[in-house]
Structure 1
Amino acid sequence: MKIKEEMNTYRTTATVVGIVYLAGFVVGLAGTGLIQSTLGAPDYLSTVSAKSIMLAGGAILWLMAAAGDAAHGILMLPVLKPHSERLASGYLASRIIDSVFLSIHVLFVLLQIPIGSAYLKAGAPTTFSLQALSTIFIQAIPYVDGLGWIALGLAGLMLNYLFYRARLVPRWIAIWGLVGYAIICCGMVSELMGTGLGLVSELPGGLWEVFVGGWLIVKGFNASAFTSQTTGTNQPAAANS
């Protein structure tokens, strides 16, 4: 009975984690669209006050994505901890760091609203200062994002290493994740150096998150990884590998 209850708990966790993966992808795209439609316009400071609701909506969606990133670490901690307490804690810490950088991104976006409001009321000398301040915050966002993506990449490497070692998912999925997040780490480090490869490096890991989100909802974790753990053996079945 205890084993059955534990399996039900892990199945529920897998479903919730999968939903959070897919929801994070959707709200991230929607939030980016709302933000870019406002801040991507020419002379956006003159219109940002009028579009403040749209911009704030995009920021809220990004905050939801940040909360989802932290939730991944919390939800996966009891799943990963029996296989490696150190890596499970590292995964949680990296996810929290990632969410902090996302939150800083949101702050820089929201600061455009009061700057835009002041811009409309200011005289010529002051408008130049406000434009410069706004530009600094906008230009800082890619650096903040890059650091957050590096933290996400490290988290993904730890997650997929444990996925592979414990066979929590089929090993080809774990290998895909290891490659995808390694590309993210390398790509974002190079992005901070000015190579412009950041967006391209996100694709393999981003597609992995969409796929694995659906996989966890439909399939869940490999049951043999938990039954072998409960019975004290270390020979998970290969049927799902």
Structure 2
Amino acid sequence: MQTEQSVARRGQFNQREYRVTARIIGVLYLAGMAIGIPGNIVIQSVLTAPGGLAAIAAGSMLLAAGVVCWLATVAGDAAHGVLMFPVLKRHSERAAVGYLAARIIDATFIAVMALLIMIQIPIGAAYVAAGTADTSYLQALSMVLTDANLYAYDFAMTTLGVSGLILCTALLRTHLIPRPLAVWGLAGYAVILLGSVLQLFGLNLISIHSLPGGLWEVFIGVWLIVKGFEPPEPTLATSSHEPSRLATTTI
């Protein structure tokens, strides 16, 4: 009797744990959009402003603020993998490890991208301080860093596509979310992966390829906050009851 009650309490705890985890992940999805998109707009407004390095020097504080927003998304990307690890591990340890690893790689590329952007600030300051001296080497260095920044972003998006495919495949198999949502996520991340690879080969898609996956992340963020994950598979509960039944029979 006590064993059955403890199993029931454990099942209720698992459901509450799933609910809390789902809400946190949902908040992270929405927060990533709310922080990352404005941060990117701020960064691009400074990097593409007329005046080049002089504009970067003048808007260094604004540029740094945008980079901080991007770094906040780095923490969120890594947190996705950490939070989903115990959820996915119940069903597939390979998917759990793969998703965590892909999220960490994704976050690493975004961090590298943020560093490359920040290096533009001292270059801009050196450009202004140089005055009438030859600054062509500073402009060339700035252009190289800009190209490297774009490559880092495309690598990050490629890894995001891989991680999304791992996640949505696991969600489709485990029924943690409705099947149509998992299929939407698979399609969205497949487009992100393909578009990012094409951008690495020089095709500029102006981030259009990120729209299906981005919309999915917004929708799934709201869904997880409101609905959460579906309860664990009944077969897991059945197997956990099995030892208590045998113990009762033995007694």
Tell me if TM exceeds 0.5. yes
| Structure 1 residue runs of 4 or more that deviate by more than 3 Å after TM superposition | 123-126
Determine which structure has more spread, i.e. the larger CA radius of gyration: 2
Per mean C-alpha deviation after superposition, the further-off stretch among 61-70 and 192-201 is 192-201
In structure 1, what is the equivalent of residue 163 of structure 2? Answer: 155
Post-superposition offset of 1:124: 4.6
Match of 1:42, SS state, is coil
Give the CA deviation at 1:170: 0.2
Question: Aligned to 2:56, what secondary structure does the other structure show?
Answer: coil
Structure 1: state its 5+ residue gaps: 234-241
Deviates more, 1:114-123 or 1:68-77: 114-123
| CA-CA distance at 1:125 after TM superposition | 5.0
1:160-199 aligned within 5 A? 160-197=168-205, 199=207
For 1:66 and 1:126, locate their aligned partners in 2 and report how far apart those are by CA, in whole Å. 37
2:111 corresponds to 1:111: no
1:39-50 equivalent positions in 2, closer than 5 A: 39-50=47-58
Where do residues 16-95 of structure 1 align in structure 2 (5 Å cutoff)?
A: 16-95=24-103
Whichever residue aligns with residue 119 of structure 1, its letter is Y
CA-to-aligned-CA distance 1:45-79 (integer Å, 9 cap, x gap): 11322321111110000000111011100000000
SS at match of 1:196: coil
Match of 1:217 among 194, 214, 225: 225
Give the superposition deviation at 1:137: 0.6
1:15 to 23, 42, 67: 23
| Alpha-carbon contact 1:7-1:226 (below 8 Å) kept | no
- Residue equivalent to 2:247: none
Q: 2:147 aligns to what SS in structure 1?
A: helix
Name the CA distance, whole Å, in 1 between partners of 2:237 and 2:35: 37
Q: Percent same amino acid at aligned positions? A: 47
Does the CA contact (< 8 Å) of 1:191 and 1:198 recur in 2? Answer: no
The answer to whether the 8 A contact 1:157-1:178 is kept is yes
1:77-109 per-position Cα deviation (integer Å, ceiling 9, x unaligned): 000011110111000000000000001110111
Say if 1:27 and 1:62, in contact at 8 Å, map to a contact too.
Answer: yes
Distance, in Å, in 1 between the alignment partners of 2:152 and 2:13 is 42
Q: Give the length in aligned residue pairs.
A: 232
TM-score relative to the length of structure 2? 0.89
- SS at structure 2 position matched to 1:83: coil
> Which residue in 2 is equivalent to 1:230?
237
Structure 1 residue 128: Cα displacement: 0.7
**Equivalents in 2 of 1:168, 1:143: separation in Å?**
34
For residues 237 and 206 of structure 2, the distance between their equivalents in structure 1, rounded to whole angstroms, comes to 42
Return the alpha-carbon distance in structure 2 between the equivalents of residues 91 and 167 of structure 1: 17
2:125 corresponds to 1:120: no
